[in-house]
A = this chain, B = another copy of it.
């Protein structure tokens, strides 16, 4: 028996391409930051909604739904959901397209029809700065985990703060199956497909691993250990790696390297190929730490995972949140957000179960990766070994890579490094550059 989708029903909305003929057309435009650079592209939300990643959400939210989500992190139907999903447009574009409530609209990407929207409501978004604060919380209102006021340096806050002034709400259908370029295409396994895959493999316990990085060995150890925690006496059947594909910033790993880097762990046998699968989800990370962990739980439950590994600083950037905000959420809830219990113990909550984990470090004296534990609230933990292990620092690793140095084997698998080098050759630099960002928005990922 596969785990239930969130809300009990898997969304899967695909329509015949002919349905778009003769409809008013509206181009899906990226959200731009203050410097004019794209920071989010709503087509990713269109695809993810229609393919059921966010089930039971089946369209962009109405004003009432947005308010319900902000007030109690629940949809109007009562199911938990952390973020408002808003399809925002400029008034000028709307007027030009001549769209009004109850219309069906063809949403286009790069000029070609991608999806249908049945417009249920058109409403003005109020002060977007207030909206962004309401989404993420403030130190005054959410002091249990918000340590610093969110601002324009936070990519997720900036997305909400930069929304265009009008929102279209309504159900969306994709016009046929989305097509991806290589290497994305082989990692595209939306919920209906990943559930079928899990069923075919006979996996019962599947631990999801969130990624937006090329894996170093600390990540590998977390995944392997999480299989024991989830599986108990019998380690979990498999790890479902799910990479978030979305807006990038200069200095990030390129998406192709992230996906193929995780795949390399499988191809090179660091994971048994029958116990590991690498997939992707389109979403512009909001870096919402505990709230993002809730969304990740929903996405992976919809994909068929039974457990979700959450580490320290889950989906975080900067020091806005307590590093264990996600652990607080999944162990006792976050009442100031309206989350009075852990999401998997809440009525109309999630079914996926958390595996909260601390950090691994390489201990040269043990010659192995040792658990450093995590300490938060009244909860203090001691390392497993009595030495002083070397933390695996992502920044140190990036420094090595930029210098053209192959990281030590105890830090990164050589096969993973080779993938970085492969894409370095393609893009002329090991990390995301302005040039890559331009290519990405214009031609990567998806073809219509």
Name A's B-contacting residues (CB within 8 A). 224-225, 227-229, 231-235, 266, 268-275, 331, 354-357, 365-369, 371, 373, 379, 381-387, 409-410
Instruction: Give A379's nearest chain B residue, CB to CB.
Output: B234
Contact A386 B228 (CB under 8 A): no
How many angstroms from the CA of A367 to the CA of B220 in the assembled complex? Answer: 12
**Set of chain B residues within 8 Å of A266, measured between Cβ atoms:** 386
A368 touches B365 (CB 8 A): no
Q: How far is the CA of A269 from the CA of B270 in the complex (A)?
A: 27
Contact A356:B233 (CB < 8 A) given known A367-B410, A384-B227 = yes
Contact check, B270 vs A385: say whether CB atoms are below 8 A apart: yes
- CB pair B234 A382 closer than 8 Å: no
User: CB distance B384 to A235 under 8 Å?
Assistant: yes
Contact A369 B371, beta carbon cutoff 8 Å: no
> Which B residues are CB-close (under 8 A) to A227?
384
> In the complex, which residues of chain B have a beta carbon less than 8 angstroms from the beta carbon of A371?
228, 235
The answer to whether A272 touches B383 (Cβ under 8 A) is yes
Could you say which of A227, A355, A382 has the most chain B C-beta atoms within 10 Å of its C-beta?
A382
B269 touches A384 (CB 8 A): no
| Option from B232, B368, B384, B409 in Cβ contact (under 8 Å) with A272 | B384
**B235 adjacent to A385 (CB under 8 Å):** no
The residue on B at minimum CB distance from A354 is B233
**Residue of B at shortest CB range from A236?**
B384
Asked whether B387 lies within 8 Å of A269 as measured between CB atoms, the reply is: yes
In contact, A368 and B366 (Cβ under 8 angstroms): no
Contact A355 B272 (CB under 8 A): no
| A269 near B367: Cβ-Cβ < 8 Å | no
Closest Cβ neighbor of A227 among chain B residues: B384
Contact A233 B385 (CB under 8 A): no
Of B225, B274, B331, the residue contacting A228 (CB under 8 A) is B225
Residues on B with C-beta less than 8 A from A269 are: 365-366, 385-387
Interface core residue of A229, A233, A234, A269 (most chain B CB under 10 Å) = A233
Q: Which 6 A-B pairs have the closest CB atoms?
A: A269-B386, A272-B386, A233-B356, A269-B387, A228-B228, A273-B386
Q: Are A382 and B233 in contact (CB under 8 A)?
A: no
Chain B residues closer than 8 Å to A383, beta-carbon distance: 272
Which B residues are CB-close (under 8 A) to A232?
A: 229, 232
Chain B residue numbers with a CB within 8 Å of A273 are 386
* Minimum CB–CB distance for A272 against chain B, Å: 4
Inside 8 A of A234's CB, which chain B residues have their CB?
356, 373, 379, 381
Given A233-B355, A235-B373, A384-B235, A366:B275 Cβ within 8 A: no
Residues of B near A382 (CB, < 8 A) are 272, 274-275
Please indicate the chain B residues that have their CB under 8 angstroms from the CB of A379 in the complex: 234
Kindly list chain B residues whose C-beta atoms are within 8 Å of the C-beta of A385. Answer: 269-272
Closest chain B CB from A354 CB (angstroms): 7
A380 to chain B, nearest CB (A): 10
- Chain B residue nearest to A225 (CB atoms) is B228
Question: Are B224 and A384 in contact, with the CB atoms below 8 A?
Answer: yes
Shortest A373–chain B CB gap in Å is 7
In the assembly, what is the distance between CA of A82 and CA of B380, in Å? 39
Question: Would you list 10 pairs from A and B whose C-beta atoms are within 8 A, ordered by A residue?
Answer: A227-B384, A229-B231, A233-B357, A234-B381, A235-B373, A235-B381, A272-B382, A272-B385, A275-B384, A368-B368
Residue in B closest to A233 when the chains form the complex, CB atoms: B356
Contact check: which of B354, B384, B409 meets A271 at CB < 8 Å?
Answer: B384
Across-interface contacts of A231 in B (CB, < 8 A): 229
Min CB–CB distance A296 → chain B (angstroms): 16
Shortest CB–CB separation between residue A328 and chain B, in angstroms? 13
Query: Distance (Å) between the CB of A13 and the closest chain B CB?
Result: 36
Given contact pairs A229-B231, A233-B331, A367-B409, enumerate 11 new A-B contacts (beta carbons under 8 Å).
A225-B228, A229-B229, A229-B233, A234-B356, A235-B371, A235-B381, A235-B384, A266-B386, A271-B385, A272-B384, A368-B368
User: Cβ of A365: which chain B residues have Cβ within 8 Å of it?
Assistant: 268-270
Chain B residues whose CB sits within 8 angstroms of the CB of A369 once the complex forms: 368
Query: What residue of chain B has the Cβ atom nearest to residue A228's Cβ?
Result: B228
Bound together, the chains give a CA A369 to CA B225 distance in angstroms of: 12
Known: A233-B354, A354-B233, A355-B233. A386 touches B271 (CB 8 A): yes
